[in-house]
Amino acid sequence: MAELQQQQQQQEEEPVIQYRCIAMNKTDIRKRCKKAIHKNSNLFCTIHNKKNPALVAIGPLADNNMNDIWNSTRFIDEETYTIENDQAFIDYERKKEEDERIYRETILQEVIEKEQRLASITTCKVCLDNELLNGDLIRCTNADCDNKHLVCVDCMKGHIDSLISNGMAGTICIFDKSDKCKGEYSSEIIENVLTLTNPEIKDKWTELVHIGEITKMASICDDYVICPLCCKWGCIFEIPAGVMINFYIPCGGCSRSWCNVCKRPAHEGRTCYKLEFLNEESREKRCDIIDHMIQEIVTKSLTHCCSTCGCSYIKEEGCNLMICPKCDSMSCYLCNMKLYYKNNTKYWHFAGHELSDADAQCRLWNNDAGDGKVNQGNLEFNQKAIETELMKFTKANHPGNVGELICERIIHTFVKDAEYKKIVTIFTDMLKLFKGIRVK
């Protein structure tokens, strides 16, 4: 009995242990209390309101009456609560810290072991040269002993040359397309490899990096335009709503100006398709100029220029949602509008699609969906686009002999192509009309 009284006296003399936590909401403190409950169902816990020291809850915190205590207590969000004599909660926090320490040590050990295994690799994965020093091999950020994404300096130089020849300057791992490793090479590694190449390659790489930066800006900002003459400079250019005139934008890179409509050098005082010949120019010379313009019109009508980076490509099949093979940005083949994900869909821009906006106008397909004639629909769309632009070109140079000469060159260009028989017929009739008007 005396022993029991002595133990009780010692417990009373022990200082009260306070453990304070910030509860952002009711759920947080409820979780913390219940963790203590599961450790010791007989735990007594006193919860005090910091602003009001009055006792708000006391009793054995068992699962069966926790909700009753909680519901009868008024708490305010973002208040500070004190949990006294909660040894189970303190033990839980200590165990949590110990678990975190063990986890950090485990991760560190795994990193060390991975580095040791990688250090044993002496083979380039590209050329398979196995007599190299590990320190001479270049690795991507996600290289491991499974993918072995380590390459020699010579293969890395070849990779850089290949990127430059394709007009790109990227740091993505050589094997990312095949292995999907998502690894990259640091700028320091690229710089070290470039120092081993000639200055021209280094300058070209720097130039392409700059182009990549302005391309990235164009993908972010809808009104950002890149000079089509040098592709090395860009600016934000917003055309006022409702304005239908040509603007000539001066380039801060090449010091030339370009037309925002036809993307050719500025041509003040005349339309995009208006030709001006000197009197002394021969018919042969004029035919060469017109043939070049016709070819340019056909190419422009058949190719889609990415509205972000300006990369050109031809669409012969598929829908009108275009994904650039160079910068991966999305655009509409019909109106060239930059597209992006909205409400978790990329089809909001196209009329008729189940996820399209109410005011969408552009068609997703150039034919009736499901009729099995996707290629035919695209062909007819391209032919119509060529016909429309050639008509603009011809009318811009009429009246006069130039309009007649353009009709003759259009007929000469397409007369042997059965797919463009309709265009030949249209411009044959137009040539007769022009000659009839001139005779009158």
pLDDT beyond 60 at 389: yes
Provide the pLDDT for residue 96.
85
Q: What is the pLDDT of residues 308-353, one digit of tens each?
A: 777 777 777 778 888 887 788 888 888 888 888 888 888 888 887 8
What mean pLDDT, rounded, does the chain reach?
A: 75
Which are the contacts of 431, defined by CB distance < 8 A and separation ≥ 6?
A: 404, 407, 408, 411
Share of residues in the chain with pLDDT > 70 (%): 75
Provide the pLDDT for residue 60.
41
Residue reference for tokens 């994965």? 125
Return d(Cα 75, Cα 224) in angstroms, integer.
Answer: 52
- How would DSSP label each residue in 165-198? HTT----B-TTHHHH----B--HHHHHHHHTTS-
pTM of the model: 0.49
Provide the pLDDT for residue 411.
92
| 417: confidence class by pLDDT, cuts 50, 70, 90 | confident
Residue range 181-195: mean pLDDT, rounded = 89
Provide the pLDDT for residue 77.
39
Q: What is the pLDDT of residues 211-220, one digit of tens each?
A: 888 888 888 8
Provide the pLDDT for residue 137.
86
- C-beta of residue 81 within 8 angstroms of C-beta of residue 19: no
Cα dihedral 169→172→175→176 (10° resolution)? -130
Provide the pLDDT for residue 407.
92
Share of residues in the chain with pLDDT > 90 (%): 6
- Answer whether the bond into residue 265 is a cis peptide, omega within 30°: no
Count of residues in the chain: 440
More confidently predicted of 252 and 79: 252
Burial per residue of 379-393, b for 16 or more beta-carbon CB atoms within 10 angstroms, e otherwise: bebbbebbbebbbeb
Backbone phi, psi, residue 34, to 5°:
-70, -30
Question: Domains of the chain: which residue ranges?
Answer: 13-92, 134-197, 198-272, 303-439
Provide the pLDDT for residue 61.
42
Provide the pLDDT for residue 241.
58
Return d(Cα 148, Cα 434) in angstroms, integer.
Answer: 70
Provide the pLDDT for residue 49.
42
Provide the pLDDT for residue 408.
92
Max mean pLDDT among 56-70, 259-273, 398-412 falls in 398-412
Q: What is the pLDDT of residues 36-77, one digit of tens each?
A: 443 333 333 444 444 443 333 333 444 445 555 555 444 433
- How would DSSP label each residue in 269-322? TS-TT-----TT--HHHHHHHHHHHHHHHHHHHHEEE-TTT--EEE--SS-SEE
More confidently predicted of 157 and 5: 157
Provide the pLDDT for residue 338.
83
Provide the pLDDT for residue 376.
66
Provide the pLDDT for residue 120.
74
- C-beta of residue 355 within 8 angstroms of C-beta of residue 344: no
Residue range 272-289: mean pLDDT, rounded = 82
Return d(Cα 74, Cα 26) in angstroms, integer.
Answer: 10
Residue range 133-157: mean pLDDT, rounded = 83
